[in-house]
Amino acid sequence: NLDGEVVGINSQIYSRTGGFMGLSFAIPIELAVNVADQLRDSGRVARGYLGVLIQDVDRNLAESFGMAQPHGALVSRVMPDSPADKAGLKVGDVILEFNGKPLLNSSQLPPMVGTARVEEEATLLLLRAGKEKKVAITVGRLPDDEEEVSTLPPIAQPDDIAQLGLSVIDIEPQVRKELGLDETGGALVSKVSPGAAQEAGINRGDIVLMFDGVDVKNARHLRELIDQAGDKRTVAVLIHRGDSPLFLALRLKD
């Protein structure tokens, strides 16, 4: 800067010819100093970790949560025995702030957490069931190994939910084991026809885990929850797809 202070360290350049074209990318000095301090003190770099999977809050999801504008990071999974689990975070929470810094979208949270000091306490501002709530959490160290999950689609008699263009079935025990799911709960999507479910982005093979904040017990229970939705126009639906959970906004009424 103008005071002669280092503000960043160049990491790469943009070039179409192999030569310098006037555009380069740099690591912020705060991050570089953090890494240097850790290497000097312990010989390795420890990244901060909360133990959640997150996604953006789009306009439809914001409407279902009663938010005036979409922002924050929506929690779609809480890892067992993780810092988030120990702090009491729940699937469906929206993280609005990390240590007092507002989150416009979910992509802002990982670098904030990653540069936070491990084993130190941080404060989260959450939106849960329409109310804001502050939670203290101890930042953990990012594990080296990643969880691996596979899929195995079962075959069973479907329960049709015609008003949404959706057919669901109960999940066989072997499938639960393959997916690493709990022993009970959830409904597997066996068919999607043109309608609200298709427009929401629900696909065949998705597993519906939660409907409007309520854990889905089985295919019949999902039908009951839909019937009980009443005058709600849009609800948040948590699904399991591939190896990740995902919230979708399901529009019940126009």
**Residue 41 has what pLDDT?**
77
Is 13 strand, coil or helix? Answer: strand
**Residue 106 has what pLDDT?**
93
List pLDDT tens digits, range 69-118. Answer: 999 999 988 888 899 999 999 999 999 999 999 999 999 999 899 888 88
- CATH number belonging to domain 48-141: 2.30.42.10
> What are the tokens at 62?
């914001």
- Residues 6+ away with beta carbon under 8 Å from 240: 179, 181, 186, 206, 207, 209, 246
**Residue 160 has what pLDDT?**
67
Q: Where in the chain is the domain with CATH 2.30.42.10?
A: 48-141, 159-251
List pLDDT tens digits, range 153-169. Answer: 444 455 667 788 888 98
DSSP H or E run through 64: helix 59-64
DSSP H or E run through 98: strand 94-98
**Residue 146 has what pLDDT?**
43
> What are the tokens at 153?
């689609």
How far, in whole angstroms, is CA 194 from its chain's centroid? 27
**Residue 158 has what pLDDT?**
54
pTM of model > 0.75: no
**Residue 173 has what pLDDT?**
78
Q: Where is mean pLDDT largest: 8-12, 141-145, 223-227?
A: 223-227
Return the half-sphere exposure (C-beta side, CA atoms, 13 A cut-off) of residue 254.
4
Per-residue confidence band for 10, with pLDDT thresholds at 50, 70 and 90: confident
List pLDDT tens digits, range 205-241. Answer: 899 999 999 999 999 899 899 888 878 889 999 998 8
Domain 159-251 sits in CATH 1.10.3720.10 = no
**Residue 159 has what pLDDT?**
61
**Residue 150 has what pLDDT?**
37
